[in-house]
Amino acid sequence: MKVGLLTEAQKLMPERNDRTHILQSWHEWELGGRERRIVLVVETDLEMRPEADAFDADLMEEVRQAALAEMAASPCAIHLVRIVPRRD
């Protein structure tokens, strides 16, 4: 079961610029029995499939690094980062 949760932590983050290619981010909870994991979900406009012509490994690494920085700045413990493509 997944539960979405927009957080106040996003307000604490510096303004994103176009270089990060992060459109938005949010927290989800993954619930399994009595265990709960908090997941930072990061939405990007970049091509994520390595076999695609538009894929850029360096830009994806920038997104990954920005996601890890957001994870570190979060006031709550985050167990996992998930990078997802833009939802249209």
> pLDDT 10s per residue in the chain (88 long)?
444 544 444 444 444 445 579 999 999 999 999 999 999 999 999 999 999 999 999 999 999 999 999 999 988 899 999 999 998 7
CA pair distance 40, 80, nearest whole angstrom = 6
CA pair distance 45, 21, nearest whole angstrom = 6
* Confidence (pLDDT) at 19: 53
Is-contact 63 45, C-beta < 8 A? no
* Confidence (pLDDT) at 88: 78
* Confidence (pLDDT) at 11: 42
* Confidence (pLDDT) at 80: 95
Strand order across the 35-44 sheet: 2-5, 22-32, 35-44, 80-85
* Confidence (pLDDT) at 12: 42
Please give the CATH topology (third level) of the domain spanning 2-85.
Answer: GMP Synthetase; Chain A, domain 3 (3.30.300)
Supply 68's token pair.
């890890």
